[in-house]
Structure formats: structure tokens, C-alpha cells
């Protein structure tokens, strides 16, 4: 059998090149924003995008604004050839991969998007300024690519919620779509940072999905039981330095309470030098005391 010919996407490195190539795209346009080091989770986002729009743009940019002091900006994996192959196989029409000076021509921007109160909780508490950096680059890329649809993975659930808030609050004419987390066969959520893990560290990292599963299994006993079950699993994981275990209302992102039906259980921790996050939806609709 002859393998199908895969067409390489067009590549834009500058704003001017992007403007010309974007104007030539037919029909509706979806964008998938990445920092490169693409994996099957990104491939799933691209497949979803191809099913929702006529043309797909992929952005590849390691955004310095969202890395704090001592974080892994310099060693963050850059795998251009591999990334381009994934974009081609997924049928992306255009890749925008600007240099740092192209996207931030005046150096670090003096004016930035602000994430608000939610941006200071959970991930924001442990990574001050992180979400301001995320929203700033997302807003810039939305302006530059002008998509009808933008797709983001639910693994970064707080980021997805904040992007939705920004698009709503600032009247950005783009529909934001969340795509379920993609996991390896052992249950670990796919992440570009997984490649940092040794074999032993990967086994330790599996404490995160195990904690989520234990929490979800305790849903019938209410929000506190969910959190306690997850914390108990993580307490027994040697080598896991836990940052937080939290259960929030999946709509408001306030702490889950007696009237919450759909919640999101979020966990974060460090294994060795690698920091990982994970989450899952938890249905509290049957827990004691909640009326249907």
C-alpha cells in the first residue's frame, strides 16, 4: 500500500508573513497555540480543530512571560522538525513560529493582560505572574491569527478557564473550545515536561492520576471526602512534593460547596525537579444533602 502524501504546512516567522498567509486561508479558521515539543495531546487538539474548521493555524512559541525565576525556560524542549511533522500529519495549513523579538519587539511589554483574582489562586499562587504572561501572549496571538475558534487542552484547566474569562470580558470574537485531557496507557496526562522524568520518577508521578481517581470515587460522600481521599493517596506517595489538592465548582471556580453539582479536582506537585499538574471532572450530583 502506498502511503498518503502529507503536505507540509506553510510557515510564517514574521507578522508580515503571517498576515499574507492568513489572508489566503479558505473558510473558517481554528488556532491551536503551543510552546512546541508537540506530543499526541497536541495531535488530538489538531484533529479536533480540523473537524471544526476549514483551515488550522498552529502557533509555536516558548513564551518567556509565563516562566518565573528559576523555572525551565532555557531548557524547555525545542523540537522543531518533530513538531512540523506532527503539524503536517494533522493537516495544519499554517504554522506561526515567531522569534522572541518578533512577538515582543520592544522587549518585555509594559502593558499586559491581567488575570484577576482567579489568576492569583492555585497555579497563580505557586507561580506569581504566570497567568498574566499566558493571557498576554494568548491575546496577542488571537489578534494576529484572527481565528473563528481556538482550542485548548483541559489538562491546563485553570488556564482554559482564564482564557474563556478574557475572551468574554474583552469581547474577543473567537469561540474557545476545551478538549479533554489525553493520557498515556498508564494514566499519566501527556505533557511536554514528562520527558524530564526518569523511569522511577514517572512511577512516582502516577500518584497524581491515582489521587484524582480516588477523589472521584468518593464523590457520593461530598466535597470534603473527595479532597481527603485525594490527599490520602498523595500522602502515601514517596518522592512527591505536593503543592495543592483543591476541589472547585467547574463553572464559577469558587471552592466546591453543598450545592455544587459538577466540580473539578485539581492536583499539582513536584517529582524530582519536574513540576506536574493534573485534574478531572467530579460529579457531585448524588452526594448526600444535594437536591436534584
Domain positions in the chain: 10-179, 192-281
Residue 86 contacts residue 3 (beta carbons within 8 Å)? no
Secondary element (H or E) of residue 186:
none
What distances in angstroms separate CA 108 from CA 66, 103, 137, one per listed residue?
11, 10, 11
pTM score, whole prediction: 0.93
Contacts of 290 (CB under 8 A, 6+ apart): 258, 259, 261, 284
pLDDT score, position 285: 87
Question: Buried (b) or exposed (e) across 39-68, using 16+ Cβ within 10 A?
Answer: bebbbbbbbbbbeebebbbbbbbbbebbbe
Residue 159 contacts residue 115 (beta carbons within 8 Å)? no
Residue 122 to residue 113: CA distance in whole angstroms: 19
Cα-based torsion angle of the residue sequence 257, 262, 265, 266 in order, rounded to the nearest 10 degrees: -100
Instruction: Locate 80 and state its grid cell.
Output: 522543531
Looking at every residue in the chain, the average pLDDT score rounds to: 94
- Each residue's pLDDT, cut to its tens digit, for the chain (292 residues) gives 334 446 899 999 999 999 999 999 999 999 999 999 999 999 999 999 999 999 999 999 999 999 999 899 999 999 999 999 999 999 999 999 999 999 999 999 999 999 999 999 999 999 999 999 999 999 999 999 999 999 999 999 999 999 999 999 999 999 999 999 999 999 999 999 999 999 999 999 999 999 999 999 999 999 999 999 999 999 999 889 999 999 999 999 999 999 999 999 999 999 999 999 999 999 998 654 544 4
Active site residues: 42
CATH 3.40.50.300 for the 10-179 domain, yes or no? no
The predicted-structure confidence for 187-244, as pLDDT tens digits, reads as follows: 999 999 999 999 999 999 999 999 999 999 999 999 999 999 999 999 999 889 999 9
Cell 510564517 identifies what position?
Answer: 12
- Residue 117: how many other CB atoms lie within 10 Å: 8
Name residue 268's beta-bridge partners.
244, 277
Phi, psi of 264 (to 5 degrees): -130, 125
Residue 170 contacts residue 145 (beta carbons within 8 Å)? no
Contacts of 25 (CB under 8 A, 6+ apart): 54, 55, 57, 93, 94
Tell me the CATH architecture of domain 192-281. 2-Layer Sandwich (3.30)
Amino acid at each position: 500500500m502506498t502511503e498518503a502524501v502529507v503536505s507540509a504546512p506553510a510557515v510564517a516567522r514574521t507578522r508580515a508573513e503571517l498576515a499574507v498567509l492568513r489572508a489566503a486561508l479558505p473558510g473558517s479558521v481554528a488556532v491551536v497555540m503551543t510552546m512546541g515539543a508537540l506530543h499526541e495531546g497536541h495531535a488530538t487538539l489538531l484533529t479536533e480543530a480540523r473537524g471544526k474548521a476549514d483551515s488550522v493555524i498552529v502557533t509555536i512559541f516558548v513564551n518567556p512571560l509565563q516562566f518565573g525565576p528559576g523555572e525551565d525556560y532555557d531548557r524547555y524542549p525545542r523540537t522543531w522538525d518533530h513538531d512540523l511533522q506532527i503539524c503536517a500529519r494533522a493537516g495544519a495549513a499554517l504554522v506561526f513560529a515567531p522569534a522572541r523579538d518578533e512577538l515582543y519587539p520592544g522587549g518585555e511589554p509594559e502593558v499586559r493582560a491581567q488575570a484577576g483574582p482567579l489568576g492569583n489562586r492555585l497555579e497563580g499562587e505557586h507561580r506569581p505572574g504566570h497567568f498574566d504572561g499566558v493571557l498576554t501572549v494568548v491575546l496577542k496571538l488571537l489578534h494576529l491569527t484572527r481565528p473563528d475558534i481556538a482550542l485548548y487542552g483541559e489538562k491546563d484547566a485553570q488556564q482554559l478557564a482564564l482564557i474563556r474569562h478574557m475572551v468574554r470580558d474583552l469581547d474577543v470574537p473567537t469561540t474557545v473550545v476545551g478538549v479533554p485531557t489525553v493520557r498515556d496507557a498508564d494514566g499519566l496526562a501527556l505533557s511536554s515536561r514528562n520527558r524530564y522524568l526518569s523511569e522511577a520518577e514517572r512511577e512516582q508521578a502516577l500518584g497524581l492520576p491515582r489521587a484524582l481517581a480516588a477523589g472521584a470515587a468518593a464523590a457520593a460522600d461530598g466535597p470534603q471526602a473527595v479532597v481527603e481521599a485525594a490527599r490520602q493517596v498523595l500522602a502515601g506517595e514517596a518522592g512527591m512534593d505536593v503543592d495543592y489538592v483543591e476541589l472547585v465548582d467547574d463553572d464559577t471556580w469558587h471552592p466546591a460547596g453543598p450545592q455544587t453539582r459538577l466540580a473539578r479536582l485539581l492536583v499539582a506537585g513536584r517529582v524530582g525537579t519536574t513540576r506536574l499538574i493534573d485534574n478531572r471532572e467530579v460529579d457531585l450530583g448524588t452526594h448526600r444533602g444535594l437536591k436534584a
